[in-house]
Amino acid sequence: MYENYTFKPDEVLEYLRKSRSDDPTLTVEEVLSKHEAILSEWSIRNMDAAVPEEHIYREVVSGETIADRPEMIKLLKMIENPRIRGVLVVEVQRLSRGDLEDAGRIIKLFRYTNTMIITPMKIYNLHDEYDRDMFERELKRGNEFLEYQKKIMNRGRLLSVSQGNYVGSVPPYGYDRTVVMDGKRKCPTLKINEEQASVVRMIFDLYVNHDMGRQKICNHLDELHIKPPKGTHWSPETVVDMLSNVHYTGKVKWNWRKTVTVIENQEAVKTRPKSKDGDFLIYDGKHEAIISDELFEAAQAKKGRNHRAKPTTKVRNPLAGLVYCSCGRAMSLRYYKRPDGTERSAPRLMCDGQFRCNTGSCRYSEILIRVNDILECSIADFEVQLKNDDALSTDLHKKMISQLEVKLEDLKNKEINQWEKYSEEGMPKEIFDKLNEKVLKEQADVSAALAQARASMPSPVDYQERINCFTDALEALNDDSIDAEKKNILLKNCIDRITYSRERPVRMVGAGHHGTWTDTPINLEVKLRL
């Protein structure tokens, strides 16, 4: 249809009016400026220029009838000018809404002044019978009007997004909504919420630079008592959504995700299914970025990998797999760095589910000192045992066994003597039976004691070997040139498990404390590998 008609910008008038069907939360100015953007997009595409300002009629105070619309009255006068060939509106209903008298008047005026009605969807030439029919039907359209309006609205929203505006009703976490002026036009956009933005930066930093997974990031944020965007705890889904939110790089996104009506429990429910890749368009936004493109890309690359498999994860904590919280969860090493990589505070060892079990964390250096002590004490202990204690106890045990062996031998000889006396020396049977019963019982008792003594013989501990092993681990732990993985292997040769517990410190109040924390003791239960 467009091909049949060409216009010059000064041959066209533009008419803008808010109607009842527009979003009631928007002001007249907001609606008109959206519509103006749609129409100027059309003008530039079809006439290479926008309609001149003096040809634009903005109905700010509007009634339903033409008589109540001062700008409309001016416009209808203007179309009597033969130079004017068309009136541009977002849709025909902007000219009149179904009032038959008004509609008839408009049709007559446009028809006899040879003025076309131009909408982005279609151009109506009212000399043409078919177009006239269409136009009348459009004006009278009632129920379908809102659907049509939504289409227009979406066009307006897409246009707004393509201009870098943020059109969503809820700002992404890290931003607040705001309005900036672009010429005369109010543009909705985002401004950084510094408090939230620092959390966003922390999430990207932990994820990309500190190899922390989603759940760990959530636990970490909960520990710091950072309020999540919704609910009481951070959820991995929220973190994942944030890690892929392009708004943080200063972009805006137009989502093709449509509202779909589905039937659930015999009720129609509107849902917005998650969009697939490629279902959206990305434009440069008017707002400031929180995350650099490089960091954002690194997060995307990382998300693409399979997190569960972790084939190349390097051990960064020498105590990995050794220290467990009293609640049963592993204790993890946490680093606290600023986005530029410098240390914000000393690394800490912390239960993976701390916000649930409420165990106090401790500085990593504190636990290293304690492990160091454990190794040193064990070595000293082994040296003592190597010298005397244990060798002695093994000897005693051996002596006891040989004594029992001698005793059993004696009892066997005793029994043989009894048989000799009974058969060769004529011992009375009643006496032999009594003596024999007694010696057999004694033999049984000694045999049982011997069996038990042999079974409980301590397995010889090679204390020299243990001393060497613990010394290796101790030296490695204090040697900065040895990597965490090697330290971890050496420590695991010495220690089976360390169970950690500590009451959560509380902040002290009152003069002189200046908000320092109580120093609750760290309890370690150590199971050595022997």
By the criterion CB under 5 A, which residues form the site for Zn ion?
325, 327, 329, 351, 357, 359
Q: DSSP label at 478? A: T
The answer to whether 85 touches 12, Cβ cutoff 8 Å, is: yes
Q: Which two tokens stand for residue 360?
A: 């106090």
Q: How far is the CB of 503 from Zn ion (least distance, A)?
A: 12
Q: How far is the CB of 361 from Zn ion (least distance, A)?
A: 10
To 5 degrees, how large is the angle CA 341–CA 344–CA 347? 95
Task: Between 327 and 427, name the residue whose CB sits nearer to Zn ion.
Answer: 327
Q: How far is the CB of 502 from Zn ion (least distance, A)?
A: 10
Which candidate, 354, 184, 209, 400, places its Cα nearest to that of 292?
209
Q: Which two tokens stand for residue 270?
A: 């509107």
Task: Between 315 and 330, name the residue whose CB sits nearer to Zn ion.
Answer: 330
Task: Between 75 and 322, name the residue whose CB sits nearer to Zn ion.
Answer: 322
Task: Between 325 and 349, name the residue whose CB sits nearer to Zn ion.
Answer: 325
Give the residue ranges of DSSP H helices in 79-115.
Answer: 100-112
Task: Between 329 and 337, name the residue whose CB sits nearer to Zn ion.
Answer: 329
Buried b (16+ CB within 10 A) or exposed e, 480-490: eeeeeeebbeb
Element (H, E) at 75: helix 70-78
In whole angstroms, what is the distance from residue 150 CA to residue 272 CA?
A: 16
Q: How far is the CB of 318 from Zn ion (least distance, A)?
A: 20
In whole angstroms, what is the distance from residue 41 CA to residue 48 CA?
A: 10
- Which own/partner contact pairs does 194-198 have at CB distance under 8 Å and 24+ positions apart? 197/290
Task: Between 249 and 361, name the residue whose CB sits nearer to Zn ion.
Answer: 361
- Which own/partner contact pairs does 367-371 have at CB distance under 8 Å and 24+ positions apart? 367/319, 367/323, 367/500, 367/522, 368/319, 368/477, 370/522, 370/524, 371/319, 371/477, 371/491, 371/495, 371/498
The answer to whether 472 touches 490, Cβ cutoff 8 Å, is: yes
Q: How far is the CB of 504 from Zn ion (least distance, A)?
A: 11
Alpha-carbon torsion (93, 96, 101, 105), positive or negative: negative
Task: Between 362 and 408, name the residue whose CB sits nearer to Zn ion.
Answer: 362
What's the first-to-final CA gap in the chain, in angstroms?
Answer: 90
Buried b (16+ CB within 10 A) or exposed e, 142-170: eeebeeebeebbebbbbbbbebbbbbbee
The answer to whether 51 touches 44, Cβ cutoff 8 Å, is: no
Q: How far is the CB of 25 from Zn ion (least distance, A)?
A: 48
**In 3-state terms, what secondary structure has residue 430?**
helix
Q: Which two tokens stand for residue 41?
A: 């997009």
Q: Which two tokens stand for residue 337?
A: 């760095």
Q: How far is the CB of 357 from Zn ion (least distance, A)?
A: 3
Q: How far is the CB of 332 from Zn ion (least distance, A)?
A: 11
Task: Between 149 and 499, name the residue whose CB sits nearer to Zn ion.
Answer: 499
Task: Between 298 and 327, name the residue whose CB sits nearer to Zn ion.
Answer: 327
Task: Between 116 and 351, name the residue whose CB sits nearer to Zn ion.
Answer: 351
Give the position of tokens 């004529």. Answer: 426
Element (H, E) at 251: strand 251-255
Q: How far is the CB of 275 from Zn ion (least distance, A)?
A: 39
Task: Between 121 and 330, name the residue whose CB sits nearer to Zn ion.
Answer: 330
Task: Between 46 and 361, name the residue whose CB sits nearer to Zn ion.
Answer: 361
Q: How far is the CB of 314 from Zn ion (least distance, A)?
A: 25
Give the residue ranges of DSSP H helices in 232-312.
Answer: 236-243, 293-304
Task: Between 160 and 501, name the residue whose CB sits nearer to Zn ion.
Answer: 501
Q: Are strands 495-502 and 522-528 parallel, antiparallel or unpaired?
A: antiparallel
Q: Which two tokens stand for residue 116?
A: 């076309």
Q: DSSP label at 290? A: S
Q: How far is the CB of 364 from Zn ion (least distance, A)?
A: 16
Q: How far is the CB of 148 from Zn ion (least distance, A)?
A: 59
